[in-house]
Amino acid sequence: MGILEFLEQTALATFIRESSSYLGFPTFLFMHTLGLSLVVGANAIVALRVMGFAPGIPLKPLVRLFPFMWVGFILTVISGAGLAIATATSKLTNPILLAKLVLIVFAGAFMWSLEKKVFRDPGASKNPGLQEGKALSAALLILWLVVTLMGRLIAYSSTIFGT
């Protein structure tokens, strides 16, 4: 517990938690929401197209959405870390948050894999990574849905777990 108490007492954690101008927490929460919107929104567009929806939309130009996904992913991770350390002793021992972090690692790995397997030669009509891309896309849609749901459940975890 010592490291969590240390994290909670850092200047950044104190700023996020106790900012007198109400800038800390709302700013980090906004950045977290913005990042999540970028990563999940762009990911949903790509995943649905890879799965076969909207076949009239060419696959190749969708590779341009990956930088938005990665910026959103990084923004979400950084802002989420800030929000977590602000109340580290309660948040970083929360089983919902810990499970969410594991799923985020998988989602990041799946996004990277989708980018490499499907978009290495998206112009090829028989792209060998496309079949695997469909499975990755379905997994990503489910992962981001569950991650988002878990994020909302964290606010109610004291009721769920009685902590």
Q: How far is CA 48 from the centre of its chain?
A: 17
- Write out the DSSP string of 54-104: STTS-SGGGGGGHHHHHHHHHHHHHHHHHHHHHTHHHHTT-HHHHHHHHHH
Whole-number mean pLDDT of the chain?
Answer: 90
Q: What is the pLDDT of residue 129?
A: 65
Name the more confident of 160 and 145.
Answer: 145
Lowest-confidence region among 16-20, 28-32, 51-55: 16-20
The answer, yes or no, to whether residue 22 has pLDDT greater than 80, is no
Q: Which residue shows structure tokens 């991650």?
A: 147
The confidence score (pLDDT) of residue 12 equals 92
DSSP helix/strand/coil, 136: helix
Residue 56: exposed, middle, or buried by beta-carbon count in 10 A (0-12, 13-18, 19+)? exposed
Confirm whether pTM is higher than 0.85.
yes
- Give residue 61's pLDDT: 92
The pLDDT tens digits for 146-163 are 999 999 999 888 666 655
**Span 85-137, pLDDT tens digits:** 999 998 999 999 999 999 999 999 999 999 998 887 555 456 666 788 899 99
